[in-house]
Amino acid sequence: MSTLTIQNDTKKLFSAGDVIMRQGDEGDCAYIILSGRVEIIVTNENGGQQHVGSRGAGAMIGEMALIDNAPRTATIKATQDCQLLEISKENFGQRIDSADPVIKMAIQVILTRYRDILKRAEIIGHPAASELDAEAIELDLARGSSAMETLRLANDFEHALENGHIYAYYQPIMDIQSGKIAGFEALMRWIDPDKGFIRPDLFIPVLEESGLIVKASQWMLKESLKALKRIENKAGFENDLFMSVNFSSHDFSEAGFTQTVYDTISTTDIKPQQLHIEITERLLIGQPDKANATLSECRQAGIGISIDDFGTGYSSLSYLHAFPIDCLKIDRSFVMMIEKDERARQLVHSIVGLGQNLGIKIIAEGIETEEESEMLKSMGCEMGQGYYFCKPMPETEVILFAKEHH
């Protein structure tokens, strides 16, 4: 008999006849059988019960709980007294993260294949897939083996960039007071020919973690500024619109960041004032001296500076006068509350007032309804973006929108 030597584990004892897990119940852990034996029973649609197998020491039971949130698919009963090792999702993730790299890789391959099988089952409408949430599995995979997932995604991204699977989308930013278009935010899209749409909130953090974000940002900057020129030409504007591009702290740490940005501006024939750099409060607090030097260089060059997700970072407002800031983007989490929540409304109103007093423009993010837009307009908020006006779109569609909102 083999002995398992795992530290800090939770062991559970069951007597012969006990139900260990019940079909239909929510699964939150798996077990490895250390000793004893269990039987697996499936209840069919008519309520009939069927014995489908048995398992002994060394086997894993309830393993689906580790990769998806679906209910238990079978009832498992102890047929002998059993000692089980409990494995929660968190515990599973920790074990993978601290495993030997080869073991990690093997688990990653198995889980990825498993997920692909489930996805295929879903496509052909196999009943096994109906309860499974592919997106949840995707997230669990990222959580469960973050190191491997980072490596894989980062590797795939470079490939995707070379093969034209990375796209620049643009979301119009509106002048709320006049209803005309003021500019765009450039947003990255990864559309894989096989896997489909890969969400930015999944891959952008991976790019940041791996440092690949610098390459991605430079690509985005060039693409979006070239596009701005074409959009203006085709929609009848002349250096009137701006392009807001997201940058991370990695970008800011690069030597010669401002020079690189300035070179791109020169080659794309737009005015420096037409570029807005979007950064978060976190970046300012994390590396204040470096940030201030870089932002001052940008300001001298005429480039606009926007603070993204304003209100979600640090509460200190001292940076508003310590750094050269042109624009505050009020986070969507506040905007979505202004209709129902009086305090959120007051808060947003105060930020608009603050902006007016300091000569900083305000952009409200994530406007989804006419009511929100009207409310922000009456508060004196200058600009807004959100699904109410327009979703992020490829260049060809954005040109039509710009023509209509000249």
Choices 9-17, 30-38, 180-188, 269-277; region in contact with ligand C2E by CB under 6 A: 180-188
244 makes contact with ligand C2E (CB under 6 A): no
Strand (E) or helix (H) holding 309: strand 304-310
How many other C-beta atoms lie within 10 A of the C-beta of residue 220?
A: 20
How far apart are CB 149 and ligand C2E at their closest, in Å? 17
Using the rule CB under 5 A, which residue among 138, 223, 309, 372 binds Ca ion?
A: 309
Helix, strand or coil, per DSSP, at residue 68: coil
Decide which of Ca ion, ligand C2E, none touches 248; Cβ closer than 5 to 8 Å per partner kind.
Answer: ligand C2E
What DSSP designation does 127 have? G
Name which of 282 and 349 has its Cβ closer to ligand C2E. Answer: 282
What are the two backbone dihedrals, phi and then psi, of residue 344, each rounded to the nearest 5 degrees?
A: -65, -40
246 makes contact with Ca ion (CB under 5 A): yes
Asked if residues 276 and 244 have their Cβ atoms less than 8 Å apart, the reply is yes
220 makes contact with ligand C2E (CB under 6 A): yes
Beta-strand relationship, 38-43 and 75-78: antiparallel
Q: CA 266 to CA 347: how far, in whole Å?
A: 40
Using the rule CB under 6 A, which residue among 55, 366, 384, 398 binds ligand C2E?
A: 366
Structure tokens at 99: 């495993």
339 makes contact with ligand C2E (CB under 6 A): no
Name which of 96 and 188 has its Cβ closer to ligand C2E. Answer: 188
Name which of 69 and 249 has its Cβ closer to Ca ion. Answer: 249
Q: CA 26 to CA 28: how far, in whole Å?
A: 6
Residues in contact with ligand C2E, counted by CB under 6 A, come to a total of: 22
Name the residue number minimizing CB distance to ligand C2E. Answer: 386
Q: Give the x-and-dash track for 268-307 against Ca ion (CB under 5 A).
A: ----------x-----------------------------
Name which of 232 and 309 has its Cβ closer to ligand C2E. Answer: 309
How many other C-beta atoms lie within 10 A of the C-beta of residue 141?
A: 20
Kindly report the CA angle at 350 between 348 and 353, in degrees rounded to 5? 115
Decide which of Ca ion, ligand C2E, none touches 368; Cβ closer than 5 to 8 Å per partner kind.
Answer: ligand C2E
How far apart are CB 280 and Ca ion at their closest, in Å? 8
Q: CA 89 to CA 326: how far, in whole Å?
A: 45
Choices 64-72, 82-90, 263-271, 364-372; region in contact with ligand C2E by CB under 6 A: 364-372
Strand partners, 90: none
Q: CA 350 to CA 163: how far, in whole Å?
A: 47
| Ramachandran region, residue 325 (left: φ > 0; alpha: ψ -120 to 50; beta: rest) | beta
Name which of 328 and 367 has its Cβ closer to ligand C2E. Answer: 367
Angle, nearest 10°, between helix axes 213-235 and 146-162?
40
328 makes contact with ligand C2E (CB under 6 A): no
Binding site for Ca ion (CB under 5 A): 246, 278, 308-309, 365
Binding site for ligand C2E (CB under 6 A): 171, 186-188, 200-201, 204, 213, 217, 220, 246, 248, 308-309, 332, 366-368, 385-387, 392
